[in-house]
Amino acid sequence: MSKIPLSANHRRSISSSLLLVEKYVNEIEQVLSNPSKLTMYRIVNNVDEQRISNCMLIAKEIKAYIGELAKKYTLAPTEVDIQRVISSKKAAMWEILCDTNSSRLKGFGLFPVEIADEFDSDIERLQKMVEEI
């Protein structure tokens, strides 16, 4: 396979697209092989084993082809330090929780005054736990 040169702008754009496709394929593989066991998110398996096997096979092919395209168009992988990933996820969680205290929920109606302090304390505790990650 011969390499095809592209401008830096095109390489960045294509790399971003392929990165997202690869991430989504990876998420599909994760769901099919190990369904989420989260408290607030449940995935109901309504797919038969044949469909799962077929999807896993195609996902593997897609990832291999993305690797071929990366070589063909000289696309470099995005490198991110684990600490940076952790920090950005923590910041996102913290921001979400800041918008989840009783005073911020007024857009959804008056929050029950009698439980506001307890609720805010619970959310604050969760924020502190997130900060410890």
DSSP for 19-76, please give it.
Answer: HHHHHHHHHHHHHHHS--B-SS-B----S-HHHHHHHHHHHHHHHHHHHHHHHHTTPP
Which helix or strand (DSSP H or E) is residue 8 part of? helix 8-33
Candidate from 52-61, 81-90, 100-109, 119-128 with smallest mean pLDDT: 100-109
The pLDDT > 90 percentage for the chain reads 91
Give pLDDT tens digits for 63-79: 999 999 999 999 999 99
pLDDT value for 55 = 97
Interhelix angle for 8-33 vs 49-72, to 10°?
A: 160
For the chain, what is the radius of gyration of the CA atoms? 22
What is the pLDDT averaged over residues 37-46? 90
End-to-end Cα distance, the chain: 45
Q: Which two tokens stand for residue 74?
A: 């000289």
* Angle, alpha carbons 32-52-61 (nearest 5°): 90
Domain ranges of the chain: 8-72, 82-131
Mean of the pLDDT values across residues 29-36?
Answer: 90
The model's pTM: 0.81
Report the greatest alpha carbon distance in the chain. Answer: 70
Whether pLDDT at 36 is above 90? no
